[in-house]
Amino acid sequence: GPLKPEITITYIAVSAIFFNSGLSLKTEELTSALMHVKLHLFVQIFTLVFFPTAIWLFLQLLSITPINEWLLKGLQTVGCMPPPVSSAVILTKAVGGNEAAAIFNSAFGSFLGIVITPLLLLLFLGSSSSVPFTSIFSQLFMTVVVPLIIGQIVRRYIKDWLERKKPPFGAISSCVLLMIIYTTFCDTFANPNIDLDKFSLIIIVFIIFSVQMSFMFLTFLFSTRDNSSFTPADTVAVIFCSTHKSLTLGIPMLKIVFAGYEHLSLISVPLLIYHPAQILLGSLLVPTIKSWMVSRQKALKLTRQPKAPVKV
């Protein structure tokens, strides 16, 4: 169509989101986030090890139901996907969480996913294909890392102006993300060969929302334990980065790994549902999570304040 998503989405939209983040994020925050190894390990292990394994175990039960088997395979591919390069960052920023940690895990997880996701698909689905790691890696580097660095460089020169004017970075990123979702939906459902039965589709939508809610609650419980050492802002980044899955990297990777599959459109459907569902659910939960984070931060400040000496 006239929007030319193969150019505007693949390159311009994702680049715009990370250039935007580079402009808005304080350099010292990004630097300190790189050192938060425990948080990064938690997010990557949860999303690339626990998530696909839990989905595989769950699908062993669902395999005896009349749900379309290709949609179930698609659900497994969702579990194998890396963290997204956009939605988790935007929602973490909207809440006021650790945006720098969200950016690092989104970028790092995407690069890990280039190698790990095809291996996971091979392990759980038995799909094999020659994946052009070099081209995907270079594309990610150019659309994620380079715009982020350029944004940080530009920020150094217009820092005072940014502090004074406070441009609507969040609104800009949200509009770009909406464009990504719209074009991807158009691309998939324009396929005349797609054959969906309503029962399977409704059940898959219900499963996807249930999985997201369950995993968000699980990451919340783990990251707020007394011995976790995560701040409330860290917890926000953990919740979104651990449970969100990449559509912009996922769809091209599915097209590569499942090249020639006649059921590719059906396999892609769960990921196409999961992506807008995670944004919708995340957006609805933003006020609740923000309220929890603010109250938790206030409570921690009060406990850390030195107590006044008692006069006798």
What is the tens place of the pLDDT at every residue in 92-120?
Answer: 888 888 888 888 888 788 778 777 887 88
The answer as to whether 255 is a domain residue is yes
Confirm whether 140 is domain-assigned: yes
- Separate counts of helices (H) and strands (E) for the chain: 15, 0
Three-state DSSP at 146 gives helix
What pLDDT does residue 54 have?
Answer: 94
Total tally of structural domains belonging to the chain: 1
- 277 is a domain residue: yes
Evaluate whether residue 299 is within a structural domain.
no
Residue that is written with structure tokens 């938690």 in the block: 42
Q: Dihedrals φ, ψ of 311, to 5°?
A: -80, 135
Structure tokens at 70: 């290709």
Looking at residue 3, what is its pLDDT? Answer: 54
| Position 300 in a domain | no
Q: Compute how many other C-beta atoms are within 10 angstroms of the C-beta atom of residue 144.
A: 25
Domain encompassing residue 100: 5-294
Lowest mean pLDDT among 19-23, 110-114, 132-136, 296-300: 132-136
Residue 127 has pLDDT above 60, yes or no: no
Is 276 part of any domain?
yes
Question: What CATH number does the domain containing 148 carry?
Answer: 1.20.1530.20
In a domain? residue 308: no
CB count within 10 Å of CB 33 equals 21
Percent of the chain clearing pLDDT 90 (strictly above): 19
Residue type, 292: W
User: pLDDT tens digits, residue range 192-245?
Assistant: 656 667 888 899 999 999 999 999 999 999 988 877 788 899 999 999 999 999
- What's the pLDDT tens digit per position in 146-176? 887 888 788 888 877 877 777 766 667 667 7
Full-model pTM: 0.73
How many Cβ atoms sit within 10 Å of the Cβ of residue 312?
3
Instruction: Please indicate, yes or no, if residue 309 is contained in any of the structural domains.
Output: no
> What is the DSSP code (8-state) at residue 54?
H
